[in-house]
């Protein structure tokens, strides 16, 4: 069973993302120091099932508190996992720092620009194609609450599973 880690800063909608992918109904509170555990769920694929792990929020891979320590430890223990890095599209600079750290460590990453509607409301313009080209990974605008963009996220996950997570960095650039 392939493993998928949902990673991102606190309060970017990872738990809503998790609920949508797994069909669960997990409610998380992200007051400082409260969410130090993780949640597991499952998603069925056509030919393969996926274990999805909602990792505690972290701002970087240099932990500064217990929740970040758990997040970094999970990433280090799941070397064969695909990482969906969920970031707040309206605060893209903050989220890209973590995404770049994960990419630099060699993990296959799908970047979900969540809260796309908030970014649009703030008139924030993000060139998705340019970001895909620079990072060489799939970049998908999403709205977890409504499900917008989830078809593309699932296609990215399935593409990664069909070629194997090690080859995702080479192959997923084909997804439009």
- 68-90 per-position pLDDT tens digit: 999 999 999 988 899 999 999 99
Interval 152-172: pLDDT, tens: 998 888 877 665 544 444 444
Per the structure block, which two tokens stand in for 83? 């990482």
Per the structure block, which two tokens stand in for 12? 């970017």
Burial of 151 (0-12, 13-18, 19+ CB in 10 A): exposed
Strands (E), 30-72: 39-44, 49-54
Number of domains in the chain: 1
- State mean pLDDT over 94-123: 95
Interval 13-29: pLDDT, tens: 998 999 999 887 655 54
CB under 8 Å to 118, separation ≥6 — which residues?
A: 88, 89, 90
CATH number for the domain spanning 169: value is 3.40.50.300
| Structural domain range at position 23 | 2-174
Per the structure block, which two tokens stand in for 142? 């999403």
Q: With contact defined as beta carbons under 8 Å apart, do 144 and 26 qualify?
A: no
């Amino acid at each position: 069973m392939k493993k998928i880690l949902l990673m991102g800063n606190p309060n970017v909608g990872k738990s809503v993302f998790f609920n949508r992918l797994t069909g669960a109904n997990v409610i998380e509170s992200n007051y400082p120091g409260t969410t130090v555990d993780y949640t597991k769920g499952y998603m069925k694929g056509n030919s393969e099932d996926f274990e999805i792990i909602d990792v505690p929020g972290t701002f970087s891979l240099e932990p500064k508190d217990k929740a970040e320590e758990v997040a970094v430890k999970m990433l280090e223990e799941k070397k064969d996992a695909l990482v969906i890095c969920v970031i707040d599209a309206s605060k893209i600079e903050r989220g890209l720092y973590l995404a770049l750290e994960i990419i630099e460590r060699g993990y296959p990453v799908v970047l979900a620009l969540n809260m796309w509607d908030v970014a649009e409301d703030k008139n924030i313009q993000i060139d998705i194609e340019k970001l895909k080209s620079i990072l060489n990974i799939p970049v998908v605008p999403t709205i977890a609450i409504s499900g917008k963009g989830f078809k593309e996220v699932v296609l990215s996950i399935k593409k990664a599973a069909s070629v194997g997570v090690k080859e995702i960095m080479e192959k997923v650039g084909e997804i439009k």
